[in-house]
Amino acid sequence: MAVLTADATILFKGMAPDIKSYLVADNVKIFKGSIVCRDTAGYANIGADTAAFVALGIAIEAADNTVPGHTAGGIRIRVGSGGHVLMPSTGLAQTNVGAPVNVADSGSVTLTGTNAVHVGRITEFVSATAAWVFFATPGMSQGA
């Protein structure tokens, strides 16, 4: 839907997000504004609807672990969660307020998703293609 190919502006609403630092997977470039997931090896990776991925939040900064000498965990990325983020999607309606959403790709969320990589809940309808989403802090309640 909206795979990020460059840094994106992040619009947070309400309380400041909870920011944590994670080790980045090898040979991965994560753009600012990207959804970030923990992969099966435990490293931060580009958000994707991938089996066994766990959503961590939104990249507060970019992280490029593709430079010469890159290794798994060779750099860190700061990721925000526990806040409301304006996110693109498709097929949204006012009736989706309160609905859980999953990772569609690095730059958008979906009401469905093959692997159900849960990120949070819709807290405010904006349009058929955008909503405010509460990104739950990993391991915490998925509510708003």
Q: Kindly report, residue by residue over 100-121, the tens digit of the pLDDT.
A: 999 999 999 999 989 999 999 9
Whether residue 65 contacts residue 74, with contact meaning beta carbons closer than 8 Å, is answered with yes
Task: Determine the pLDDT at residue 140.
Answer: 52
Task: Determine the pLDDT at residue 62.
Answer: 97
- Go through 81-118 and write b for each residue having 16 or more CB atoms within 10 A of its CB, e for each that does not: bbbbbebbbeebeeebeeebbbbbbbbbbbbebeeebb
Burial class (CB within 10 angstroms; exposed 0-12, middle 13-18, buried 19+) of 6: exposed
- In which residue ranges of the chain is pLDDT below 50? 141-144
| Statement: the pTM of the whole predicted model exceeds 0.75 | yes
Task: Determine the pLDDT at residue 142.
Answer: 47
Quick: pLDDT tens for 42-61: 999 999 999 999 999 999 99
